[in-house]
């Protein structure tokens, strides 16, 4: 039942996310659409950087703690993300022009970058509360938080916003207000000695920080093609790439209920050495992820132009080619997205991070080779992206094989 509810919520969020791209194009036209798409990729990159691995640490440790320990972990996580936000805000204040140039290809989007930073902080607080209830196996309220913050508020904000800057500012503030109310009414306010917080933060950071580079690089995987397009080509091309990658990410997000529920449960299976069930679930998820990836790739291959026409994307013929290239990586990324929870649960060391680092280094080296051979076109950049993403899936599959061999009866 938990899977059905969570999948249902994620499907609604996916529909709203797709709808937003459509209506943003109508209301804010080409420039607003490009700003919205690029900012979405920017947020996807910055969020794991500023989370310090809390998205993995919380569901890892919470299920094995009593109520007091869970509250201690929750408030320690909020302290960590708030301190990181303050540090990031100071850094942005000093280097706002540089950040704007790197992401948007100009110096005129400083304030939009700042609004994205505030939105990332609201998402970090969202992750803390969301994972608190997820770790307590309260999937009903965690799904409600997910629906409101990632679905309803983004949609409602659209109707009152007058610009992309206005949109992200209103969305950030409304998200933080909603989370404050949830925390006040559903989570007891408890204060612990500072020494307890220090010990808890140290334990969470020591586990999560190992995985943070992997999450950051994963965000970069889905952001670099957009940043390249904005800087070496045009903002319009950057917007098209960002939109295509956002659709790619939305499809992957549909598989997130598996990770949402599986990571805390898999951690418990490993803790209790229930390897028979872990093996059975692993096989089911592997076949399901491959099947979903193949189905999605075929849909995009045959209906790519139609999908782009629905969103009034410019230069349909060229955009269709770019979309189809990107979705050639969906099989590898779906395997990675679904199976990584089992690897995270089984290993204390950051095995998933090692996998991401290897694939990302291959991606960077391949981009350098394209530049050296004067083959640096946006199509070639995306081909290299697809090869690297599928390499990510292959390495994940090999790690799962290694786990299944080690737990063989």
Q: Identify the pLDDT of residue 15.
A: 81
Which of 7-21, 93-107, 185-199, 378-392 is the most confident on average? 378-392
From CA 10, how far away is CA 15, in angstroms rounded?
A: 9
pTM of the model: 0.70
pLDDT digits (tens, 9 = 90+) for 38-92: 777 778 778 777 777 777 777 777 777 778 888 888 898 898 889 889 998 888 8
Q: How confident is the model at residue 272 (pLDDT cuts 50, 70, 90)?
A: low
pLDDT bucket at 259, cuts 50 / 70 / 90: low
Question: What pLDDT digit, counting tens, does each position of 169-200 carry?
Answer: 999 999 999 999 999 999 988 777 888 888 88
Point out the least confidently predicted range of 51-55, 117-121, 307-311, 382-386.
51-55
Residue 249: CB atoms within 10 A of its CB come to: 16
Burial class (CB in 10 A: 0-12, 13-18, 19+), 93: exposed
Structure confidence at residue 271 as a pLDDT band (50, 70, 90): low
Most confidently modeled range among 96-105, 109-118, 145-154 = 145-154
pLDDT exceeds cutoff 70 at 267: no
CB atoms within 10 A of CB 365: 12
Q: Which residue has the higher pLDDT, 85 or 258?
A: 85
d(CA 280, CA 249): 27
The pLDDT value given to residue 126: 93
Least confident of 51-55, 93-97, 218-222: 51-55
**Of 319, 340, 357, residue with least CA distance to 403:** 340
Euclidean distance between CA atoms 15 and 185, whole angstroms: 29
pLDDT of residue 309: 84
Report, as an integer, the average pLDDT of 251-277: 63
pLDDT of residue 409: 58
Tell how many helices (H) and how many strands (E) occur in the chain: 16, 0
Better-scored residue on pLDDT, 177 or 222: 177
pLDDT at residue 181, as a whole number: 96
What is the per-residue pLDDT for 290? Answer: 86
The pLDDT of residue 151 is above 80: yes
By C-alpha distance, which of 342, 335, 324 is closest to 385? 324
How many angstroms separate the Cα of 113 from the Cα of each of 165, 242, 264? 9, 16, 34
Average pLDDT, the chain: 82
Contacts of 293 (CB under 8 A, 6+ apart): 330, 331, 332, 333, 334, 335
146 with 9: CB under 8 angstroms? yes
Which pLDDT belongs to residue 262?
Answer: 56
Q: What is the pLDDT of residues 319-359, one digit of tens each?
A: 888 889 999 999 999 889 888 877 877 776 778 888 999 99
**How do residues 354-405 score in pLDDT, each as one tens digit?**
899 999 999 999 999 998 998 888 889 999 999 999 999 999 999 888 887 8
In the predicted structure, residue 257 carries a pLDDT above the cut 60: no
What is the C-alpha separation between 101 and 231, in angstroms, rounded?
A: 8
Q: What is the mean pLDDT of residues 255-271?
A: 59
- Owner of token pair 């917080």: 197
Domain boundaries, the chain: 2-406
Tokens of 302: 């045959």
- Residue 133 pLDDT exceeds 70: yes
DSSP assignment letter at 148: I
């Amino acid at each position: 039942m938990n899977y059905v509810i969570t999948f249902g919520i994620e499907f609604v969020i996916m529909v709203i996310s797709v709808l937003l791209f459509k209506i943003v194009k109508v209301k804010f036209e080409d420039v607003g659409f490009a700003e919205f798409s690029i900012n979405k990729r920017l947020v996807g990159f910055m969020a794991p950087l500023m989370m310090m691995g809390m998205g993995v640490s919380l569901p890892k440790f919470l299920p094995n703690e009593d109520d007091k320990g869970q509250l201690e972990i929750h408030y320690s996580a909020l302290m960590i993300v708030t301190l990181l936000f303050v540090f990031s805000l100071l850094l942005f204040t000093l280097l706002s022009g540089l950040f704007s140039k790197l992401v948007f290809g100009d110096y005129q989007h400083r304030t939009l970058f700042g609004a994205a930073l505030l939105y990332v902080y609201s998402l970090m607080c969202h992750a803390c509360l969301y994972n608190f209830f997820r770790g307590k196996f309260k999937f009903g309220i965690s799904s409600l938080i997910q629906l409101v913050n990632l679905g309803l508020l983004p949609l409602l904000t659209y109707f009152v916003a007058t610009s992309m800057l206005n949109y992200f500012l209103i969305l950030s503030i409304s998200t933080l207000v909603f989370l404050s109310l949830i925390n006040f009414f559903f989570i007891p306010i408890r204060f612990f000695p500072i020494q307890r917080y220090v010990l808890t933060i140290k334990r969470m950071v020591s586990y999560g920080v190992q995985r943070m580079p992997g999450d950051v690089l994963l965000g970069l995987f889905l952001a670099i093609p957009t940043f390249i397009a904005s800087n070496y080509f045009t903002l319009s091309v950057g917007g098209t790439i960002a939109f295509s990658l956002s659709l790619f990410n939305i499809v992957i997000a549909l598989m997130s209920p598996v990770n949402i529920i599986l990571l805390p449960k898999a951690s418990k299976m490993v803790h209790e050495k229930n390897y028979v069930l872990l093996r059975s679930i692993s096989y089911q998820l592997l076949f399901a992820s491959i099947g979903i990836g193949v189905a999605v790739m075929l849909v995009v291959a045959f209906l790519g132009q139609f999908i782009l026409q629905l969103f009034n994307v410019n230069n349909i013929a060229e955009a269709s080619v770019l979309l189809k290239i990107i979705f050639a990586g969906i099989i590898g990324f779906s395997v990675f997205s679904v199976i990584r929870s089992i690897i995270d649960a089984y290993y204390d060391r950051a095995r998933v991070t090692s996998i991401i680092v290897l694939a990302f280094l291959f991606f960077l080296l391949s981009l350098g080779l394209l530049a050296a051979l004067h083959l640096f076109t946006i199509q070639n950049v995306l081909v290299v992206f697809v090869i690297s993403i599928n390499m990510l899936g292959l390495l994940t599959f090999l790690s799962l094989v290694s786990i299944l061999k080690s737990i063989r009866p």
